[in-house]
Amino acid sequence: MRRSKISIIGGGFVGSTCAHWLLSRGLGDIVLLDIEEDLVRGRALDLFQSSALTTSSLGITGTSDYTDIQNSDLVVVTAGRARQPGMSRDELRNINAEIVAQICEQIKQQAPEAYVIVVTNPLDVMSYVAWKTLDFPSHRVMGMAGVLDGARFKAFVAEALQVSVQDVQAFVLGGHGDTMVLLPRLCHVGGIPLTELLSEEKIASLVERTKKGGAEIVSLLKTGSAYYAPALSVVEMAESILKDKKRILPCSTLLNGEYETTGLFMGVLCCLGSKGVEKVMEFSMTTNEKKLFQNSVSAVRSQIEQLVL
């Protein structure tokens, strides 16, 4: 049986950590590509040697040659400038838009049947740039953000209640940034609504910390941004696609009327399977939740209008 081929564009901490998780789960052969060829070859070699200590028999290649990604089933785009302390995701917009567009021109030539997961920030805008450049059907292009933001919220809730994070269910919608939409009324801990376990003030503080979850890590690292949780969030999405698990995961996808929004990539709940984004899951929101979501839509639309390519 043919093994899946997964290419990761960007061999930095997110890309290489993503490769580690993909290999450990046995999801396919990996191509790790970066303009810094020696760096990426070294990281690939280290990962390859680690396979001797596991049951994995999958291959990994480090390269700077885009022909090596030919016939990939899935391509993950992590390349781009990372945030520095005090910098917002949106400040990276035009720098990273040019990088993502150049990468996607190569993907379009070398892997025209691939599914593409975008990780580069600002996430929703870069997902839009990728889709426009690739000219792929929208169900094959998506952005990773909601899985990460949801994981952060769940971790903070579990910490506040001193319970296992496995028993916390929550998700995040909207743009990946300060306007993301968290829905505490739909967060449950062991089946119990969060609103019955924590005060409004405490929940509000957890929501705010989640919105600034990436910035908190950037301020501590000083010279980089988060990579462990982002990488594993990508793998959750990749596994659902490659194994046709049809998991319901929040990701950035092109909306065509859903949630009263058209023509934008926004974070919503999606069914991810062998056909990529197979379905957008809609549900009723309160008046305030709708207002928050549309505020997030406006923020993303404004960023796209300011794009310079």
Alpha carbon distance 78, 88 (integer Å): 17
Catalytic (active site) residue 176: yes
**Catalytic choice (20, 139, 176, 188):** 176
Preceding amide of 230 cis, omega within 30: no
Alpha carbon distance 136, 128 (integer Å): 11
Q: Which residue has the tokens 């062991």?
A: 190
**Residues annotated as part of the active site:** 176
